[in-house]
């Protein structure tokens, strides 16, 4: 088998890259270890930056998002029992975010690819990357019937997430990795209830962080800071509600509405970057190259920004033989990656309790929150990072 771009992983990065390449007349094959049903049912991100929304719209896959997605013009910071609104659009000349679940984006992209005759090979196994430093790199894998397949490509895009095979296929002497693991995780739930708030609430409390998000007029998404090795068995519904009410309590009368909890899970928190995001003819994109803690809502958006740059670079190569954009891919992508790494680390540090924290540290966090809530300059810094900085041209 032969294709122009071999793509490993049918997450947001791999699927959107395949779609953007198709729009520019470039052929690709996506290989994915899981089934279509599994990837379309995995619950993850919810917040799309303005630039992500614009790109999905411009590339013709935004129709359902425009109908079902929920635009938000602000977020709430809640601490010391009070809510403080950050008016995102006013601080960023009209930019905003849209709440639309990641698995809905996945469903829209899979449909667009398959409707256009695109190839996505689900249920593959034992993927390996060969000859990356030659002109004809290859992907070898077992297809869903167990047959060994080899796909020869001009280029390979490693979009297989943090635990994929692409990054470890780069010789360790050719890559440098930066990591920070946080001493806490998030306990996430889904519940049946109408929205308790019109905008997302990020709450800092002495008992730990809490986040009130949403999925639809009927389904809500809530998170609370927990121990990194916590288990769902430790969290009966009564304890979840007790903790959420305590962390979100205030003197302003607002109260969280309860509902039937139908999903629980624990999420680890880490920051990670590999440099460079390229080796020979392999390009890494999305979680395969970097991870952010979810507090800044940046992971999916960064994956989108990476493949936007990569699609442009590949398009320039196929249109006119120009390789300079491909040469600069890693440098261009990493600039945005490190900005998002800093923002996500900053939001995480400001909003969580650290177990070794002194009363001094707690006071500093409160002072920082007061400053962000009260200063237009500080709030603008949060807002422009949260809605997403404009894309840089490659
Ligand atoms: P993905 O989504 O992990 O997709 C990788 C795909 O590759 C497949 N795969 C392989 N395929 C072939 N061969 C192999 N050897 C393979 N190994 C793996 C996997 O099965 C999978 O289908 O990576 P991608 O495309 O880079 O996308 C990244 C995003 O999924 C991730 O950054 C976000 O979900 C992060 N995130 C958020 N990002 C946002 O922008 N806004 C948010 O509001 C937001 N909230 C979140 C989040 C992540 C969370 N979790 C669960 C970590 C909230 C949570 C709770
Ligand atoms: C979500 O709705 O899943 C969500 C929202 C905001 C975040 C992270 C996750 O910062």
What is the 3-state secondary structure of 49-64? CHHHHHHHHHCCCCHH
Mean pLDDT of 373-379: 98
- In this prediction, residue 254 carries a pLDDT of 86
Q: What are phi and psi of 79, to 5 degrees?
A: -155, 160
* Per-residue confidence (pLDDT) for residue 394, from 0 to 100: 63
* 148-158 vs 290-291, strand pairing mode: unpaired
- Is 125 an annotated catalytic residue? no
Report, as an integer, the average pLDDT of 274-303. Answer: 98
| Residue 125 falls in which region: left (phi positive, over 0), alpha (psi -120 to 50) or beta | beta
Distance of CA 149 from the midpoint of ligand 1 (Å): 25
Ligand 1 pocket, residues with Cβ under 6 angstroms: 8-14, 31-34, 39, 44-47, 102, 127, 159-161, 164-165, 188, 267, 286-287, 294, 297-301, 303
DSSP code, position 217: S
Cα of first residue to Cα of last residue in the chain, in angstroms, is: 31
pTM of the model: 0.97
Q: Which is catalytic among the residues 19, 205, 290, 298?
A: 298
3-state helix, strand, coil in the chain (%, to 5): 40, 30, 30
Mean pLDDT confidence for 260-280 = 97
Instruction: Name which residue leads in pLDDT, 392 or 181.
Output: 181
User: In sequence order, what are the beta bridge partners of 372?
Assistant: none
Task: Say what the pLDDT of residue 392 is.
Answer: 77
pLDDT tens digit sequence for 91-124: 999 999 999 999 999 999 999 999 999 999 999 9
Ligand number nearest CA of 343 is 2
Mean pLDDT, residues 379-386: 98
- Which of 229, 355, 223, 234 shows the shortest CA–CA distance to 295? 223
pLDDT digits (tens, 9 = 90+) for 165-211: 999 999 999 999 999 999 999 999 999 999 989 999 999 999 999 99
Q: Closest ligand to 47 CA?
A: 1
From the list 22, 254, 236, the residue with the least C-alpha distance to 116 is: 22
Residue that is written with structure tokens 């970097």 in the block? 290
Other Cβ atoms closer than 10 A to 234:
11
Cis peptide bond prior to 15, omega within 30° of 0 = no
Spatial distance between the Cα atoms of 369 and 347, rounded to a whole number of angstroms: 10
DSSP state string for 249-303: --SS---PPP-EEEEEEEEEEEEEEEESSEETTEEE-GGGTEE--GGG--HHHHH
**Mean pLDDT over all residues of the chain?**
96
User: Which residue, among 110, 93, 112, 104, has the nearest Cα to 69 in the 3D structure?
Assistant: 104
Can 386 be counted among the known catalytic residues?
yes
């Amino acid at each position: 088998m032969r294709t122009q771009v071999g793509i490993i992983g049918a997450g947001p990065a791999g699927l959107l890259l395949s779609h953007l390449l198709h729009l520019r007349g470039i052929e690709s094959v996506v290989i994915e270890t899981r089934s279509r049903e599994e990837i379309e049912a995995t619950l993850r991100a919810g917040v799309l930056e303005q630039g992500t929304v614009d790109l999905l719209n411009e590339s013709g896959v935004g129709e359902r998002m425009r109908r079902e997605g929920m635009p938000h013009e602000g977020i709430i910071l809640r601490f010391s029992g009070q809510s403080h609104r950050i008016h995102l659009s006013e601080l960023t000349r009209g930019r905003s975010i849209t709440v639309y679940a990641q698995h809905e984006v996945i469903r829209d992209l899979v449909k667009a690819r398959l409707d256009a005759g695109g190839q996505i090979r689900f249920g593959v196994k034992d993927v390996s990357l060969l000859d990356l430093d030659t002109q004809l790199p290859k992907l070898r894998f077992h297809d869903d019937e167990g047959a060994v397949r080899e796909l020869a490509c001009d280029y390979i895009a490693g979009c297989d997430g943090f635990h994929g095979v692409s990054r470890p296929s780069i010789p360790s002497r050719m890559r440098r990795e930066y990591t920070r693991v946080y001493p806490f995780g998030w306990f996430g739930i889904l519940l049946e209830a109408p929205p308790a708030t019109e905008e997302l609430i990020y709450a800092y409390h002495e008992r730990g962080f809490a986040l009130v998000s949403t999925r639809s007029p009927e389904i809500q998404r809530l998170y609370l800071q927990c121990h990194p090795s916590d288990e769902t068995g430790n969290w009966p519904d009564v304890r979840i509600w007790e903790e959420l009410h305590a962390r979100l309590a205030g003197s302003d009368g607002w109260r969280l509405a309860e509902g039937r909890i139908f999903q629980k899970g624990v999420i680890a928190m880490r920051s990670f970057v590999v440099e460079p995001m390229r080796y020979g003819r392999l390009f890494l994109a999305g979680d395969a190259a970097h991870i952010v803690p979810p507090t800044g809502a940046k992971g999916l958006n960064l994956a989108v920004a990476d493949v936007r740059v990569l699609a442009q670079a590949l398009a320039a190569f196929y249109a006119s033989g120009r390789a300079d954009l491909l040469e600069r891919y890693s440098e261009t992508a990493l600039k945005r990656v490190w900005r998002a790494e800093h923002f996500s680390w900053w939001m995480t540090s400001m909003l969580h309790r650290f177990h070794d924290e002194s009363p001094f540290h707690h006071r500093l966090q409160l002072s920082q929150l007061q400053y962000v809530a009260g200063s237009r300059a500080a709030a603008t810094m949060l807002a422009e990072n949260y809605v997403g900085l404009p894309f840089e041209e490659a």
